[in-house]
Amino acid sequence: MPSLDTLVANLAQKIPQAGLGVAAISASPVGWHIEHSLLTINAIIDQLHRSDTTKYKWKFKLPKLIVFTTKKIPRGRAKAPAAVQPNTFTEGSLQQHIQLTKEKINSLATCQADQYFNHPFFGHLRLKDTIKFLQIHTAHHLSIINDIIKAG
């Protein structure tokens, strides 16, 4: 699995096609998928930094096992939370958001291994699993973006 830095660099390369959309593949254009991926990375990293390690609770979650084992998220199965649904974006705003996201990714170096993010389906994910989830999630949206670009 490519690193989060590599995946974000790949997102940045797709910005010129931000307005491209193919309804048969996704109801949202390329730019929406880029912005959603960036919003997700940033929001989750913020939650990691704010987490109270004393409140971490492990619980077995079959969906997590499946997604983490296959490294794939099924398409069209879940709706993005409102906080990570893009409203508007431009090529310029996407470029700025890429830079912010790179800074957030660099800030992961200051996180402790037992800090966590509370995923709505997978439960509490410690730092290592959070990074893995972000890689899987970003790769999922890059796959959709690539399919849109191929079909467009």
Range of the domain at 20: 4-151
pLDDT tens per residue, range 95-140: 999 999 999 999 999 999 999 999 999 999 999 999 999 999 999 9
C-alpha neighbours within 13 Å on the C-beta side of residue 90: 3
Residue 152: per-residue pLDDT: 87
Residue at 146: amino acid letter: N
In this structure, what are the phi and psi dihedrals at residue 52, rounded to the nearest 5 degrees? -100, 105
Element (H, E) at 144: helix 127-151
In angstroms and rounded to an integer, the radius of gyration of the C-alpha atoms of the chain is: 15
pLDDT tens per residue, range 26-53: 999 999 999 999 999 999 999 999 999 9
Do the beta carbons of residue 36 and residue 82 sit within 8 Å? Answer: no
pLDDT confidence of 76, banded at 50, 70, 90? confident
- Domain total for the chain? 1
Q: What is the CATH number of the domain that holds 111?
A: 1.20.120
- Whether the pLDDT of residue 55 is over 90: the answer is yes
**pTM for the whole thing?**
0.96
